[in-house]
Structure 1
């Protein structure tokens, strides 16, 4: 397993994949540790998260640089990602005791009835490369707090990040079997899911990967949570504050080099402000600096791999062939590394690639619509439903439109983002289940009904 810097093509490190025997030993450690970890008081488990948060902040520059080198994230965004991981650890350290507390329910006068929240056991997390720390910690923090133990199958191009996460949790006091990285190929995932010692699976990734994992887990009757792709609409109404909206639009499309499931991808703009929005948007996208992700001045780094850039460019070419116009960018940059420039397409046919597929890079499809009603129709005309945003000066109108979106995470005058305090996840082909907040910690627990009848012991 090789870690390669996408900016330079330099091989950073190689890692031996785990053998079947090593995977078996890891699963056995997970089972053994679960028996003890679940019995620790929740406050003690949360203490590990507090220590992990401190270590993450101490090492934020180191881990931010690691992400820049492994998958091309601009360094400041990498450091910010590590800080966000510290936040989710602190959030669950503070809230998990309350979220896992027994829920007493009134029933019969002579009975005590409650719902307890009990861990399931070893949970497998299949995680992507685009947010190599955050995606893992938003799984690890609630599950470790709940008393589960974690097994991480990370993307094959970020093995260094995977091992760094295991290291920081171990240094924070998590026992060896509480969180383990499995350096295995995607082809070995099915056998891990099928193993009786694994009790549940969560995946963040492509729709294709989600279907495969869900099929295998379904045969084994194991709980799954899937966070899959997105083609998020960014709806601009006629009363939107254009200057501020454009600033947010650029960030929404190009953060993480445009490689984000919840990036704004389809910019649906009402006709009366279309020209002004487009002119400002193209100018702002053109002003972005594309370059070395380790340079603090860089806004957009390389795509994570050459093949990913080629797939993105193919989507652009197919859309242009279908009738879209290139207002900015549209060709890979002539330099070493898989650099794709900020790109804006206009006159986008609604059945073209950039309107129907997830574009995983800094390519924006700008779509003109006559009015709000059509904007909502276009926004919902997708097989995906992860996030959506609407931009307007009328907050009541904005909330009404947000409620009309067919998506899991809907924002008014803010781009879509994940936040430990609110549930995160999608509908339609963007997956099911929720991460973060109270909903996230309850996904992989047994919500057990306990009924204690006092009738036989009453005088």
Structure 2
């Protein structure tokens, strides 16, 4: 039976795009063709592969005027946000810049009797399962280093952003990357699991929900195929008594509301030192009230719909449950809130960790704010989560931030910024935020395996 994948636009609920998913046999054949093409690709010099990736990125840039409104139609991000090309380009270029040095042989010894070295070799076929919320930047995090390292790549994109992989493949092929080395594939969940369980790929990178990551790991169980996961978070911010209050409000609220709160490392809970709490809340509420909810194709819109009505329903339920349990909602219902994908952004106080809105991932435009006595209470609350992706600390004292950072169970510690990815730093999480290394030298190395050479020289 043929499976049709449909992207339903959050703007009006219409079907924006649809594609036929590969059958299990078709997916296996695609993986086999990628495997057959990978060895020749890996034999090319690293610099050549890196230059082709740079050229592919430039080809994507030439499409950006089409990509931005297309993203708005597929997942609701306002066109005024300008798309993702800057981060897409910077991440790919950084990985290309460091590749030769990072993947160079580690020479142990080369003497009269032996040559000993460690070489980084590609895994083979890398399956990238990409999400819809930042469909270009999250995909390139693995696509670029995987190709540069000499792997072939199968890209399976989320149905909500059905056309991204298609566009990316077109750009990459136009730049000279062979079609079987980088292939966009349309897969349903069952076929994806079949590819993994049958060892038709050699490495899996998944970005998405905890349940999705668990499904990937179950599919790979017993195969020894590495599975790298980035599964989102419940990222906290902590505003200390010496913080720049206006800067903290602006950055943390932007981190909570940008992209309708649909950011893996978005701010979902804020803890404020009791001496600044009332002022912070007042300013945060004013910041959110200034947002303009509406059609993402309208340049005046600053907050678009959530990507799907069911995602908005989760956020509404969390807000309603918190209010029923005693929380205060500070933002009145927006007249453009349709009870579906268009959702009023919300600031909640009077919250606690017995409420889902402070413990479970919201992935929407809502944030709870709590007052804390001191650093110890803040650290306890920040760690009181099953997630651990990023944490944002606001203080004038870098040493204090570093000390607190050492106590936090998280993948990245920010000071005086939030919701940002630096390609030179390892993108990683702990607990239910997943495992593995993305970007940085560690991310590039993760897309290879070490191979040791112990070569005894012939004696005369």
* Pairwise same-fold verdict (TM > 0.5): yes
Counterpart contact for 1:260–1:360, Cα < 8 Å: yes
Structure-2 separation of matches of 1:329 and 1:102: 60
**Post-superposition offset of 1:106:** 5.5
Counterpart contact for 1:291–1:298, Cα < 8 Å: yes
**Post-superposition offset of 1:161:** 1.3
Structure 2: give runs of 5+ residues left out of the alignment: none
Aligned counterpart, 2:10: 6
Aligned counterpart, 1:98: 101
TM-score normalised by structure 1 residue count: 0.95
Cα deviation 1:117-149 (Å, max 9, x = unaligned) = 100111111111111111111110000000001
**Post-superposition offset of 1:78:** 4.5
Structure-1 separation of matches of 2:322 and 2:189: 31
Q: Give the secondary-structure state (helix, strand or coil) at the position aligned to 2:265.
A: coil
Structure 1: give runs of 5+ residues left out of the alignment: none
Q: 1:216 aligns with which of 200, 215, 219?
A: 219
Aligned counterpart, 2:41: 37
Structure-1 separation of matches of 2:233 and 2:142: 19
Structure-2 separation of matches of 1:78 and 1:173: 27
**Post-superposition offset of 1:13:** 2.4
Write the mapping of 1:50-449 to structure 2, written as runs, cut at 5 A: 50-79=54-83, 81-105=84-108, 111-329=114-332, 333-335=336-338, 338-449=341-452
Equivalenced residue count is 456
Counterpart contact for 2:294–2:336, Cα < 8 Å: no
**Post-superposition offset of 1:107:** 9.7
Structure-2 separation of matches of 1:76 and 1:112: 57
Structure 1 residues 452 and 236: CA distance shift in structure 2, 3 A: same
Counterpart contact for 1:313–1:331, Cα < 8 Å: no
TM-score normalised by structure 2 residue count: 0.95
Structure 1 residues 330 and 315: CA distance shift in structure 2, 3 A: farther
Structure-2 separation of matches of 1:220 and 1:126: 18
Counterpart contact for 2:21–2:187, Cα < 8 Å: yes
Structure 1 residues 225 and 16: CA distance shift in structure 2, 3 A: same
* Further displaced range: 402-411 or 333-342: 333-342
Structure-1 separation of matches of 2:456 and 2:140: 41
**Post-superposition offset of 1:330:** 6.4
Counterpart contact for 1:423–1:440, Cα < 8 Å: yes
Structure-2 separation of matches of 1:19 and 1:313: 37
Counterpart contact for 1:266–1:355, Cα < 8 Å: yes
Counterpart contact for 1:234–1:389, Cα < 8 Å: yes
Cα deviation 1:234-291 (Å, max 9, x = unaligned) = 0101111101111101111011111011001110111111001110011011111111
Counterpart contact for 1:229–1:386, Cα < 8 Å: yes
Counterpart contact for 2:313–2:340, Cα < 8 Å: no
Structure-1 separation of matches of 2:239 and 2:208: 28
Structure-2 separation of matches of 1:300 and 1:111: 64
Structure 1 residues 331 and 431: CA distance shift in structure 2, 3 A: farther
